[in-house]
């Protein structure tokens, strides 16, 4: 690693990968610091024991897994680690929110769906996001068809959502060197894609960035940002880890005129809070730092228990969605699949969530059978098989529901220096109750039983889409960054990840984070907005591909 770069990017998720790519394309000398490891498609954990040993982030014990699971009071958060960030484990959906989301006054006036439109398109092209077209020889997953049937039953038009998943014949990824095979319907999106069908960031934006000279450093965790003592710019201190060795840590420092913090919602807030409140290197950061946390209105692990043979695991983990917007809020519901090992957990969860209720139901049916009520004997046999024969998940259709929570959580540092989240669900309770009403509608349409999330019994939520804490705003009193993602009071310091989003989106947020990152990079380079058919539109042509085509043309011209 060199001592100085034009740009240092902290984190390699959607915000970090996109800005690193576009700035490298523009000729900037870019360094990317990523706390996680670089993963190949043969490294991902598969068995329950491999998941227990290798899937989770635990650097204190020398484990650098791709899943970072944080448990706070009333809220649990799952996020990604590794070169490619959240793209390693996310569920591939590239979906823009409805225009009404940006009508919320917490968004800067410069941000709306029309203005972001060209950036959404640019990212969708790079990520190759299209509705699911089943691979050769396969049909839509049964989970998909069951979900579409349920939506039709409640008269909610459903759609196959755009996915960054490749389903065609084997190929070399057009934006990098990786070989891709079509989606094998393994359902392992959350624990890494072994066929490279998933268009993760290391295969497109980061590959592009490296082709243009960017340098990516895995297992480098940024620990401090401070203004340079001489001249403009900043110095970034980091800790370099060695995989498998918890105690092997080397400190270092790198400098740049521009620093982009893209460490994810929790990582970015933790780093900046430390710089402001503990290290005093960025003392003038906004008093709003840490405020406005949102779980994106996520409601995970609830679903419908049916007598159908749904088998929700196979296929991309999300395939379809439906708009359940009401007069009071935006809501969206998607089908949800999980990797096989996690369905074993779900099997136990279903028993815990509904066991007592089911036992009383079976007793009731036995009484009805003794009274010779028509159909009761057949239903007893069916219920007994469902309860005691195992395989409850075979008929379970899980959902991912998203609504507009209050986005009023607060991230802060404990006296020990650990990150804490204060989340009071009271202001969001009515939103989630309405969302659960939509899920109950779907359950009724399938003639099934609604099963709440097991976390709901403890009053907790689980989110895979943490947002906020460094929200955008016109001034430093209300937010940490301006509409260009530049930190108020610190020229050349930017935040570009989910932490800048000031509200819940009621849709999977990666498309919006990608669009905001594309916009931030374009403004850094050109100082103006991108327009449709703009001649300065960033190229999505691979350097390697263009070079190969030119060499081939040259050989043909020379008669070789």
In a domain, 96, yes or no: yes
* Owning domain of residue 200: 4-131+175-305+401-423+454-552
Q: How many CA atoms lie within 13 A of 71 on its CB side?
A: 3
Tokens of 418: 């650990």
What SS3 class is residue 32? strand
In a domain, 373, yes or no: no
In a domain, 64, yes or no: yes
Quick check: 312 and 143 in contact, CB under 8 A?
A: yes
In a domain, 491, yes or no: yes
Helix, strand, coil percentages, rounded to 5, for the chain: 35, 25, 40
Q: Give the closest residue to 207 by CA, choosing from 58, 430, 12, 46.
A: 12
β-strand pairing of 298-305 with 449-451:
antiparallel
Question: What's the per-residue H, E or C state across 272-340?
Answer: HHHHHHHCCCCCCCCCCCCEEEECCCEEEEEEEECCCCCCCCCCCCCCEEEECCCCCCCCEEEECCCCH
* pLDDT at residue 62 in the model: 87
State how many domains the chain has: 1
Give Cβ neighbours of residue 307 (< 8 Å, ≥ 6 apart). 382, 386, 395, 447, 448
In a domain, 151, yes or no: no
Tokens of 538: 């960033």
Residue 560 to residue 551: CA distance in whole angstroms: 11
Q: Give the closest residue to 545 by CA, choosing from 198, 24, 176.
A: 176
CA 399 to chain centre: 16
* pLDDT at residue 355 in the model: 44
Give Cβ neighbours of residue 57 (< 8 Å, ≥ 6 apart). 36, 63, 64, 65, 66, 67, 68, 69, 81
Residue 161 to residue 95: CA distance in whole angstroms: 7
Report the chain's terminal Cα–Cα distance, integer Å: 41
Q: Give the closest residue to 306 by CA, choosing from 401, 187, 399, 393.
A: 393
> Which CATH number belongs to the domain containing residue 281 in this structure?
3.50.50.60
CA 496 to chain centre: 14
Residue 192 to residue 370: CA distance in whole angstroms: 52
Residue 352 to residue 347: CA distance in whole angstroms: 9
Residue 196 to residue 44: CA distance in whole angstroms: 11
Q: How far is CA 181 from CA 85, 172, 173, in A?
A: 22, 9, 10
Q: How far is CA 401 from CA 144, 336, 337, 479, in A?
A: 15, 9, 13, 28
In a domain, 440, yes or no: no
* pLDDT at residue 454 in the model: 79
Quick check: 297 and 171 in contact, CB under 8 A?
A: no
| pLDDT, one tens digit for every residue, the chain (560 residues) | 999 999 999 999 999 999 999 999 999 999 999 999 999 999 998 887 788 888 899 988 889 999 999 999 999 999 999 999 999 999 999 999 999 999 999 999 999 999 999 999 999 999 999 999 999 999 999 999 999 999 999 999 999 999 999 999 999 998 887 899 999 999 999 999 999 999 999 999 999 999 999 999 999 999 999 999 877 899 999 999 987 777 678 999 999 999 999 999 999 999 999 999 999 999 999 999 999 999 999 999 899 999 999 988 899 999 999 999 999 999 999 999 988 766 655 555 555 444 434 433 434 444 444 444 444 444 444 443 443 344 567 889 999 999 999 999 999 999 999 999 999 999 999 999 999 999 999 999 999 999 998 777 667 899 999 999 999 999 999 999 999 999 999 999 999 999 999 999 999 999 999 999 999 999 999 999 999 889 999 988 876 565 555 555 555 555 65
Instruction: Report helix angle 14-25 to 510-526, nearest 10.
Output: 30
In a domain, 374, yes or no: no
In a domain, 352, yes or no: no
């Amino acid at each position: 690693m060199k001592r100085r770069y034009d740009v240092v990017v902290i984190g390699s998720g959607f915000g970090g990968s996109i800005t690193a790519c576009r700035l490298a394309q523009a000729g900037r000398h870019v360094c990317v610091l990523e706390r996680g490891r670089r993963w190949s498609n043969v490294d991902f954990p598969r068995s329950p024991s491999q998941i227990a040993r290798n899937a989770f982030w635990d650097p204190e014990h020398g484990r650098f897994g791709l899943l970072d699971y944080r448990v706070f009071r009333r809220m649990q958060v799952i996020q990604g680690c590794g070169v490619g960030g959240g793209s390693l484990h996310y569920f591939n959906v590239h979906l823009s929110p409805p225009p009404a989301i940006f009508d919320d006054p917490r968004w800067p006036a410069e941000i709306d769906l029309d203005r972001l439109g060209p950036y959404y398109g640019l990212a969708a092209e790079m990520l190759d996001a299209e509705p699911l077209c089943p691979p050769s020889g396969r049909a839509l997953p049964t989970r998909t068809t069951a979900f579409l049937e349920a939506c039709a039953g409640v008269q909610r038009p459903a759609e196959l959502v755009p996915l960054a998943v490749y389903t065609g014949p084997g190929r070399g990824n057009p934006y990098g060197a990786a070989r891709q095979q079509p989606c094998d319907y393994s359902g392992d999106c959350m624990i890494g894609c072994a066929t490279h069908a998933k268009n993760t960031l290391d295969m497109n934006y980061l590959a592009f960035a490296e082709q243009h000279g960017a340098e990516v450093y895995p297992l480098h965790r940024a620990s401090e940002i401070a203004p340079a003592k001489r001249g403009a710019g900043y110095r970034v201190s980091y800790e370099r880890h060695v995989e498998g060795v918890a105690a092997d840590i080397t400190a270092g420092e790198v400098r740049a005129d521009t620093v982009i913090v893209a460490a994810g919602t929790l990582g970015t807030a933790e780093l900046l809070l430390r710089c402001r409140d503990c290290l005093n290197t960025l003392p003038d950061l906004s008093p709003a730092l840490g405020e406005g946390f949102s779980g994106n209105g996520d409601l995970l692990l609830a679903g419908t228990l049916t007598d159908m043979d749904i088998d929700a695991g196979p296929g991309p983990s999300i395939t379809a969605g439906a708009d359940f917007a009401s007069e009071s809020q935006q809501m969206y519901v998607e089908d949800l699949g999980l990797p096989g090992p996690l369905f074993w957990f779900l099997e136990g969860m279903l028993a815990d969530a509904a066991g007592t209720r089911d036992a009383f139901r079976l007793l009731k049916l036995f009484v009805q059978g003794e009274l010779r009520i028509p159909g009761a004997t057949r239903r007893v046999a069916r219920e007994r098989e469902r309860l005691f024969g195992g395989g409850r998940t075979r008929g379970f259709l899980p959902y991912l529901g998203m609504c507009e929570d209050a986005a009023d959580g607060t991230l802060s540092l404990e006296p020990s220096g650990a990150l804490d989240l204060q989340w009071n669900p009271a202001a969001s309770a009515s939103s989630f109750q309405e969302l659960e009403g939509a899920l109950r509608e779907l359950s009724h349409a399938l003639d099934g039983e609604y099963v709440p999330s097991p976390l709901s019994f403890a009053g907790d939520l689980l989110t895979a889409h943490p947002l906020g804490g460094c929200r955008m705003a016109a001034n430093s009193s209300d937010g940490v960054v301006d509409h260009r993602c530049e930190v108020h009071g610190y020229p050349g310091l930017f935040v570009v990840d989910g932490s800048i989003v000031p509200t819940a989106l009621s849709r999977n947020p990666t498309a919006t984070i990608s669009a905001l990152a594309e916009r931030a990079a374009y403004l850094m380079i050109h100082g103006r907005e991108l327009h449709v058919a703009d001649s300065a539109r960033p190229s999505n042509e691979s350097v390697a591909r263009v070079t190969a085509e030119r060499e081939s043309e040259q050989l043909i011209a020379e008669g070789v």
